[in-house]
Amino acid sequence: SEAAAAVGAPPRALQHHGPGKLVGKTALITGAGSGIGRHAALLFAQEGASVVAADRNLAAAARTVDAMLELNGQGIAVGGDVSVAGDVEAMVDKAERTFGGLHVVFNNAGIMDPGDDNVINTTDEVIDRTLAVNVKGVIYGCRYGIPAIIRAGGGSVINTASFVAFMGAATPQIAYTASKGAVLALTRELAVIHAREGVRVNALCPGPLRTELLMKFLDTEEKKQRRLVHIPMGRFGEAREMAKVALFLASSDSSYVTGASLLADGGITSAYVTPE
């Protein structure tokens, strides 16, 4: 197939630069059916990675893979719930068996429960569900993903946290906020533990994004403005902007970056007063 690629025109998606940043790499992306995960899957595939697009919504993951194939990318869709250890083990296994090794794990699947509120009103059920997906899901991705990355000779783990792990919000979602703080703490420790095994572990910390996850909560102009006033750049972020940061962390461009909590938040966490 290398010979065939040499005689044919380069894939359209790769024409903007030389060889892709993830050629020869396999990446497992959770929550790949929507938002950040979907955009990361498309971008990683364009950069030459073989992508395992995992989502509890298999149909959504399959749509991502269809879009990936249209860009001449390579990938497969896998269904599964990241809060179930066996499902995550199966995702990693599928990646290794299909593509011969795993180099990048993007633990990105996460939820914001509609019942998540302040500490007085939030039920145990909401807390347990949120921590199961957002914290245990990341732990399972690392439990099964890191040994696979070591077997492949090294690579990168990216855990999606959030800017809310850095600052308090008067519009509370206490279980979600606690879960993202946990992701930052465990990411740092994993980075230290596995640093000499060729595994880098970093957290991607997005600001508020114009994705399904957030926009279904911010369903009025007033709710949007309540947030936008605090964002120096004056707009919500886009999932594809997070995919670019994830690509940096996934590729050797970030070869000396580990244990980092990389904020991509439009300046929110740096602001006291914002421009009028």
Q: If you search the block for the tokens 């991607």, which residue do you land on? A: 204
Please, what is the Cα angle at 31 between 212 and 65, to 5 degrees?
A: 100
Distance, CA of 117 to CA of 176 (rounded, Å) = 9
Helix, coil or strand: residue 151: helix
- CA distances for 101 relative to 2, 92, 161, 261, angstroms: 19, 9, 26, 26
Using rule CB under 6 A, residue 263 touches ligand NAD = no
Using rule CB under 6 A, residue 81 touches ligand NAD = yes
Which span (166-174, 210-218, 255-263, 266-274) binds ligand NAD, by CB under 6 A?
Answer: 210-218
Distance, CA of 243 to CA of 246 (rounded, Å) = 5
**Nearer to ligand NAD by C-beta: 108 or 122?**
108
Distance, CA of 196 to CA of 208 (rounded, Å) = 34
**Nearer to ligand NAD by C-beta: 117 or 150?**
117
Using rule CB under 6 A, residue 83 touches ligand NAD = yes
Residues 132-161 binding ligand NAD (CB under 6 A) are 133, 137, 160
**Nearer to ligand NAD by C-beta: 188 or 227?**
227
**Nearer to ligand NAD by C-beta: 57 or 98?**
57
* CA quadruple 71, 211, 159, 106: dihedral, nearest 10: -20
Using rule CB under 6 A, residue 213 touches ligand NAD = yes
Which span (41-49, 140-148, 186-194, 208-216) binds ligand NAD, by CB under 6 A?
Answer: 208-216
Residue 70 CB, nearest approach to ligand NAD (Å): 19
Whether 140 is catalytic? no
Q: If you search the block for the tokens 């899901």, which residue do you land on? A: 137
- The maximal CA–CA distance of the chain, rounded, in angstroms, is 65
Residue 252 CB, nearest approach to ligand NAD (Å): 24
189 Cα distance to chain centroid: 19
Catalytic residue among 140, 144, 176, 272: 176
**Nearer to ligand NAD by C-beta: 13 or 77?**
77
| Tokens linked to 44 | 């990683």
Choose among 88, 259, 271, 97: nearest CA to 183: 259
Distance, CA of 55 to CA of 59 (rounded, Å) = 9
Residues 30-59 binding ligand NAD (CB under 6 A) are 30-31, 33-37, 55-57
Using rule CB under 6 A, residue 264 touches ligand NAD = no
HSE, side-chain direction, 13 A CA sphere, residue 46: 19
Contact 50, 23 (CB under 8 A): no
The count of chain residues that interact with ligand NAD, using the rule CB under 6 A, is 30
Which span (28-36, 115-123, 185-193, 266-274) binds ligand NAD, by CB under 6 A?
Answer: 28-36
**Nearer to ligand NAD by C-beta: 70 or 212?**
212
Residue 189 CB, nearest approach to ligand NAD (Å): 19
Question: What positions carry a catalytic annotation?
Answer: 176
Applying CB under 6 A, which residues contact ligand NAD?
A: 30-31, 33-37, 55-57, 60, 81-83, 108-111, 133, 137, 160, 162, 206, 208-209, 211-214, 239
